[in-house]
Structure 1
């Protein structure tokens, strides 16, 4: 779901910035029920992504850092059907052009691929998922600042 024209893996994808090949810019606003989403969200959007999977009660493939110490781990573990640790992020991920220019770093540690399934049950951590509004406000502010300064995700 999170791609650009240079790093897309599928014909249908969404982008964080306006693109002529993307089906949408705001991936959270489109329904995912008719397909199996392949999700590799930016770190600040992991909570809203998990929240959407639970809210829409769907199954999805999620690629995220394997960070067991993070608060979201217990909540994510409850909805995981299976997961595979695919290796160190430096070995699995590739920096894009903008990331190299801005001297940004890949997330530390290992990466994992998980099949997650939203369920219609109450989780003790529902309060964590309600941070979506605040996270989206912060992300949109960063996105606008990046676009204003010629930023892009690569």
Structure 2
């Protein structure tokens, strides 16, 4: 199992944990905007979404049939 995320989703230029990140807003250095409208295939994403987006994130993971590292409260 790969435990090294390849991309940071739902981040911004001042709090991204990885060099490759998708931002929630246009900033500096992101590779794209709006993670839910990007493909996550061929990635092992680090996902720390806003809590209201958790259902959409889980749905996308199932649809794209990927593994991901999700940071969320239980």
TM bucket (normalised to shorter chain) is 0.7 to 0.9
- Please provide the CA RMSD for this pair: 0.9
Give TM-score, length-normalised by structure 2: 0.83
Give TM-score, length-normalised by structure 1: 0.41
| Separation (CA, whole Å) in 2 of partners of 1:16 and 1:44 | 14
- The CA deviation string for residues 9-68 of structure 1, in whole angstroms up to 9 with x for no partner, is 1011111111231111110111111110110000111011000000001100100011xx
Larger Rg: 1
Match of 1:46 in 2: 54
Secondary structure, counterpart of 1:59 in structure 2: coil
| Separation (CA, whole Å) in 1 of partners of 2:24 and 2:12 | 8
- C-alpha contact (below 8 Å) 2:20/2:31 kept by paired residues: yes
- C-alpha contact (below 8 Å) 2:10/2:34 kept by paired residues: no
1:29 corresponds to 2:31: no
Secondary structure, counterpart of 2:61 in structure 1: helix
